[in-house]
Amino acid sequence: MKKVMVGNHAVSWGVKLARAEVISAYPITPQTQVVEQLSEMCASGELPARFIKVESEHSAMAACLGASAVGARAFTATSSQGLALMHELLHWAAGARHPIVMANINRALGPGWNIWTEQTDSLSQRDTGWIQLYCETNQEVLDTTIMAFRLAEQVNLPVMVVLDAFYLSHTAEPVDIPEAALVDAFLPKRHAKLKLDTAEPRTFNSLVPPSAYMEMRYALQQAMREARTAFDEVEEAWEQGCGRRYGAVEAYYADDADLVLVTSGTVTSTARHVVDQRRAAGERVGLVKVKMFRPFPTETLRDALAGVDRVAVLDRNLSPGRSGIFAEELRAALYDVPPDDRPQVYGYVLGLGGRDIRPDTIEAVIERTRSADVPLHEDLWVGVEV
Amino acid sequence: MSELRLEAKDLPVSRTTTLGNKTGSWKYIRPVYHDGVAPCNQGCPVGIDIEGYMNLLREDRVAEALDLLLRENPLPAVTGRVCDHPCEAACNRKELDGAVAIHAVERALGDLALERPAVAMPVTHQEQVAVVGSGPAGLACAYHLNRLGYAATVFEAAAEPGGMLRLGIPEYRLPRLVLDRQLEHLRQQGINFVCNTRIGLDLDWSVLSWFDAVFIGTGAHLPRPLGLAGEDNPAVRQGLDFLADVNGGARPDVGHAVIVIGGGNTAMDCARTARRLGAEVTVVYRRTRAEMPAIREEIADAEREGVRFEYLASPVAFGEDSEGVVDVAFERMVLGEPDASGRRAPVPTGERFQHAVDLVLLATGENASLESLPPEVKVGKGSIEADRLGATGHGTYFAGGDVAGHDRTVAHALGAGKRAAIGIDRRLRAQRGEAVPELLPADLTALSLGPQGNLSMTRWRHDDPVRRVAPLLEVVGPEQLNLTHFEPAERHPDHKPNGASATTFAEVNLGLTRTEALAEARRCCNCGVCNECELCLIYCADVAIRRGTNGDRFEIDLEYCKGCGVCAEECPRGAIGMTREGL
């Protein structure tokens, strides 16, 4: 069944179809509609989940941790400052290996106070141990939300589904809603092997001495490694059910390209449009969309960019004192490629705080990339008035 | 695909269970479930287990709620309409979002009770009891004695039973149909009524000598003269006489302008009744609205119906009747220091003014009729002297209600009748040679709904206390509740005027529907009594609280309870305490 819905409601539908058992969240623009609709679904009984009202995002994550600890399928959603407030417990969720799913609506951090889209909030949580999946369309949001639960429960790691403020969260698109039976077959009820059980109580997450801590972190890293291949398996299964898959990395006209744009989130759609036009004009421009940020799909990106001369990374985010974060990650991923095969990485910082990235913005990025043999800086700013 | 890949070695998880760590050894105090008294229960002069029936209604156990209500109150359809509901003034929920509309819920229950067939009570004792006077005190005494297994005969001076309920309370507050059905239930239960019989006047008290006990509940209906000039003017009437006429079906001509003197419920009844007969009515009261003893809703209804109020004025003389018009002279008052009643007393100023009216209705109080009492009964200042259980100086005679000087409300009369029933039952059982409680003040307290509450028939009869496992006598105040656990819920509007009230004698207040009443009952905090909300079970950090083995209430596993007190702190209704005992 197709239904026109905003991205926030695509999240809600995904959570409903995934039969989340506990939902706890605190409202924040632009996330509010997600939990608003979920609370209505819970109130009406169409989603038989426990909806827990809390006084902060920190408590929302704490409630999800508690729910997950007893084996429940838990979900929350937030944005920007709310995600930042959760930070401590994001480490806890991953360290304690809770397969919690969270939707984060990308929003710039204040000050200056800003509710528009930017990826710095989610990328700031890079080292918390959460799997991060970025979305381009509302359909991708719904599909990714469902897939996220299966992936999370397979590798025992929390998953963050990330979507752009307003461009997705508040923009309506037709979305195909899969049949409940199909989703149930794809995603059975969670079965937690290690969980709090009053019949056989155990101590969880007590003091771990230096003699054991590293092994625990190694296990976490192994789970992240597994998550990379597990994601492909999950997508394979989803494609069999409903015919759609996205890829941890999607290459678009990248095979024979001499210049490739690297994007994530909704800017990908704008870039596709520009690539189509350039291709029509005979120019060998391509596109690589990065959906999975953690675990970082290093090998897949190396393969996708093999033989490309120049890579222009569009970063709607900033690590102050360094550069755009995707560019930084990509440079590191490509460093071990033999120098002769290694593309030149041009890292563009643009669209911060929700500033529009239009086709002509991307045209300008292509021109700048073509006109300089080497990037002048690690961070190339686009459209800044100084 | 399940989480089987996750191994215990990947997480800091204890290898054995934590059951070996018996945290119970840490404690020096322990929690204990106890059941306190809700303040409404103590506040009810009848001594109804209000909290108890609200608790049952919360689970839609309506029939059981009715049974519990009827254990203590013979006339819920009546009190649900005319009681001044001190229970609501005591309700802890007013600290949150308004007292529970107990009065309205009781009325809904009372009406439901009338829809059930009355249950005939088997007479299991040989002793016979006579009740003189069929007002609320007499009815209550007869009702409870009958339910205790005694044959009870009620003697009434008027043609029909009901006493002040029938003669004094207008139909628009208490429809005759409701009163008649309520009395029919008492008849069907087994109470014998003998009307048109004035004991002490038509028949000598000695005719009752073959009864084993006699309850005197003859009320107070003698006019209390003001001692003012012109009081004998035919256009100056006793309010109660006027009400008895109209309540009996008469529709006297009251003229255009009527003055009612007084500020109690009789004054409101006179004013609103005269209004319905077409008059412009002014209530003259010597203090102000704040000091008026009438039920607040009655004052508000009178105002809404167009009754005018003249405060701080007292009559000094009733002038000559010229063509049916009375000139009433008043003196202006001011409020002085509080008097014995705690209300500020009216002080004369010397300033006079006059009103010319067609009818004056006096509603300044009534005296008990003490002339025709049996000589053995000791009479004190204006009333029979009787103890808390109604016993007079003479063994056979018990008394209660207005004639025994109790607070003059229907609820107090019902409460006094119940206490006298306990007193009579105790005396007759003692005469049969049964062991009965001493009934020292301490014993009476054990039967009471709180130190100031009325006696509980449930406790006297050792009936199932419903949900209470460890009854305490302590009343639970708002400070013992954890109000944060209650969702705000607005009180149902309990006074819904029918819209046509100022012209007809149809019942003014439409009351709550069954659905509304059940919803209102869910606002009850069940103060002091565990209603198995399970918060203690959820909050216990040691998972030391669990459902009882029979699924009823909760058990505390003292091997693991470390005495932290979180359960007692979080209990929304103060039903858990901490104690040193039993450690």
Show the beta-strand stretches assigned E in chain A.
2-6, 22-25, 50-53, 74-78, 101-106, 131-134, 159-164, 172-176, 249-252, 259-263, 285-290, 292-294, 310-315, 344-349, 380-381
> Reduced to 3 states, what is the DSSP secondary structure of residue A253?
coil
CB contact under 8 A, B12 and A194: no
Cα–Cα distance, B404 to B417 (Å, whole number): 11
| Whether residue A327 sits in one domain with residue A226 | no
Tell me which residue of B26, B5, B8, B6 sits closest to B16, measured CA to CA.
B8
Q: Which residues in chain B are contacts of A226 at CB distance < 8 A?
A: 5
Cβ-based contacts of B17 with chain A (< 8 Å): 200-202
Helix extents (H) in B278-398: 296-304
**Same structural domain for residues A163 and A196?**
yes
For residue A194, give the chain B residue with the closest CA: B8
Residue A321: give its domain's CATH number. 3.40.50.920
Q: Report the alpha-carbon angle A238-A244-A250, nearest 5.
A: 110
Which stretches within B347-487 are classed as H helix?
Answer: 410-431, 441-446, 457-461
Same domain, A305 and A355: yes
* Claim to verify: residue A62 and residue A148 sit in the same structural domain: yes
Burial A125-162 (b: 16+ CB within 10 A, else e): beebbbbbbbbbbbbbbbbbbbbbbbbbbbbbbbbbbb
Q: Are strands B257-261 and A249-252 parallel, antiparallel or unpaired?
A: unpaired
**What DSSP state is assigned to residue B263?**
S
Please, which residues 224-263 of chain A have a Cβ atom closer than 8 Å to chain B? 226
Residue A142, helix vs strand vs coil: helix
A114 with A221, same domain: the answer is yes
**Do strands A74-78 and A22-25 pair parallel, antiparallel, or not at all (unpaired)?**
parallel
Do A195 and A319 have their domain in common?
Answer: no
| Nearest residue to A42 (alpha-carbon basis) of A30, A63, A25, A55 | A25
Same structural domain, A41 and A170:
yes
Residues in contact with B140: Cβ distance below 8 Å, sequence separation at least 6, in sequence order: B46, B74, B75, B413, B414, B415, B416, B417, B418, B421
Distance from CA of A96 to the nearest CA of B (A): 7
Contact criterion met (CB below 8 Å) for B182 and B79: no
Q: Are residues A91 and A211 in the same domain?
A: yes
Chain A contacts of B8, Cβ < 8 Å?
A: 194
Alpha-carbon Rg for chain A, nearest whole angstrom, is: 21
What is the DSSP pairing of strand B359-362 with strand B236-238? Answer: parallel
Whether residues A258 and A237 fall in one domain:
no
A202 in B contact zone (CB under 8 Å): yes
Per-residue model confidence as pLDDT tens for chain B (583 residues): 345 467 767 788 888 888 999 999 999 999 999 999 999 999 999 999 999 999 999 999 999 999 999 999 999 999 999 999 999 999 999 999 999 999 999 999 999 999 999 999 999 999 999 999 999 999 999 999 999 999 999 999 999 999 999 999 999 999 999 999 999 999 999 999 999 999 999 999 999 999 999 999 999 988 888 889 889 888 999 999 999 999 999 999 999 999 999 999 999 999 999 999 999 999 999 999 999 999 998 999 999 999 999 999 999 999 877 777 899 999 999 999 998 888 899 999 999 999 999 999 999 988 998 888 998 899 988 899 999 999 998 889 999 999 998 788 999 999 999 999 999 999 999 999 998 887 777 788 889 999 999 999 999 999 988 888 777 789 999 999 999 999 999 999 888 888 775 789 999 999 999 999 999 999 999 999 999 999 999 999 989 999 887 767 899 999 999 999 999 999 999 999 999 987 7
Span of A12-16, A159-163, A197-201, A316-320 with lowest mean pLDDT: A197-201
Count of domains observed in chain A: 2
CA distances for B136 relative to A88, B154, B217, B365, angstroms: 68, 12, 8, 18
Residues in contact with A172: Cβ distance below 8 Å, sequence separation at least 6, in sequence order: A4, A5, A6, A138
Chain B residues with CB inside 8 Å of A70's CB?
none
Q: Considering the domain boundaries, does residue A154 fall inside one?
A: yes
Q: How many other C-beta atoms can be found within 10 angstroms of the C-beta atom of residue B14? A: 14
pLDDT tens sequence across A289-322: 999 999 999 999 999 999 999 999 999 999 999 9
Whether A386 is in a domain gets the answer: no
- CATH topology for the B225-364 domain: FAD/NAD(P)-binding domain (3.50.50)
How far apart are the C-alpha atoms of A83 and A122, rounded to whole Å? 8
The pLDDT assigned to B5 comes to: 60
Q: Which tens digit of pLDDT belongs to each residue from A324-375?
A: 999 999 999 999 999 999 999 999 999 999 999 999 999 999 999 999 999 9
Q: Is B8 on the interface with A (CB under 8 A)?
A: yes
State the smallest CA–CA distance between residue B486 and chain A in angstroms.
Answer: 14
Is the distance from CB of A258 to CB of A310 less than 8 angstroms?
yes
Q: Which helix (H) or strand (E) holds B352?
A: strand B344-357
Show Cβ contacts of residue B183 under 8 Å, excluding neighbours closer than 6 positions.
B139, B160, B161, B162, B193
pLDDT, residue B13, reads 87
For the question of whether the overall pTM of this predicted structure is more than 0.90, the answer is no
Note which residues in 437-496 of chain B have CB less than 8 A from chain A: none
Q: What ipTM score was computed for the predicted complex, to two decimals?
A: 0.73
Could B3 and A216 be called an inter-chain contact, meaning their C-beta atoms sit closer than 8 Å?
no
Choose among A191, A198, A212: nearest Cβ to B2.
A191
Separation CA A147–CA A135 (nearest Å)? 12
- Its domain, for residue A42, covers 2-242
Query: What integer pLDDT is reported at residue B501 of this predicted model?
Result: 59
Contact A203 B14 (CB under 8 A): yes
- Chain B, window 536-575: residues with a beta carbon less than 8 angstroms from a chain A beta carbon: 543
Which of A242, A258, A291 finishes a domain? A242
**What span, in angstroms and rounded, lies between the C-alpha atoms of A40 and A34?**
10
Q: In angstroms, what separates the C-alpha of A195 from chain B's closest C-alpha?
A: 10
CATH number of B128-221+367-436: 3.50.50.60
Tell whether A233 and A319 lie within a shared domain. no
- CB of A211 less than 8 A from some CB of B: no
Helix axes B265-276, B239-247, angle to 10 degrees: 50
CATH 3.50.50.60 location in chain B: 128-221+367-436, 225-364
- Measured CA to CA, the distance from residue A157 to residue A154 in angstroms comes to 8
Q: d(Cα B326, Cα B359) in Å, to the nearest integer?
A: 7
The answer to whether B13 contacts chain A (CB < 8 Å) is yes
Chain B partners of A206 at a C-beta cutoff of 8 Å?
12, 14
> From CA B344, how far away is CA B338, in angstroms rounded?
4
Partner-chain residue, chosen from A192, A206, A215, that has the shortest CB–CB distance to B3: A192
* Closest by CA position to B368, among listed B241, B512, B224: B224
Q: Does A173 touch chain B (CB under 8 A)?
A: no
Residue A85 pLDDT class (50, 70, 90 cuts): very high
Domain CATH for A67: 3.40.50.970
Based on the fold, state whether residues A11 and A89 are members of the same structural domain: yes
Alpha-carbon distance B7 to nearest alpha carbon in chain A (angstroms): 8
Q: What residues in B contact A219, CB-CB < 8 Å?
A: 7, 9-10
Strands in B105-256 per DSSP E:
128-132, 151-155, 192-194, 213-216, 220-223, 236-238
User: Can you tell me which residue has the tokens 């209430």?
Assistant: B553
Nearest C-alpha in B relative to A185: B1
Chain A CA closest to residue B10: A216
Does a structural domain hold residue A53? yes
Q: Which of B389, B421, B415, B392 is nearest to B402 (CA)?
A: B415
Tell me which of A192, A208, A242 is where a domain ends. A242
If you compute the radius of gyration of chain B from its CA atoms, what whole number of angstroms results? 28
User: CB count, 10 Å around CB of B402?
Assistant: 28
The tokens describing A4, both together, are 């026109």
Structure tokens at B322: 């010229």
Do A334 and A231 lie in one domain? The reply is no
Whether residue A96 lies inside any domain: the answer is yes
Contact A150 B1 (CB under 8 A): yes
Q: Is B10 on the interface with A (CB under 8 A)?
A: yes
Q: Phi, psi at residue B409, to the nearest 5°?
A: -130, 160
Please check whether residue A287 lies inside any domain of the structure.
yes
In a domain, A59, yes or no: yes
B19 contact residues in A (CB cutoff 8 A): 200-201
Chain A residues touching residue B11 (CB < 8 angstroms): 96-97, 194, 204-205, 216
B486-500 pLDDT, tens digit each:
999 999 988 888 877
A167 CB contacts (<8 Å, ≥6 apart)? A117, A265, A266
Q: How far, in Å, are A235, B46, B52, B475, B525 from residue B40 at the CA level?
A: 63, 11, 11, 9, 11
A86 occurs within a structural domain:
yes
User: Cβ separation of B8 and A194 shorter than 8 Å?
Assistant: yes
3-state secondary structure at position A150: helix
Final residue of a structural domain among A205, A224, A242: A242
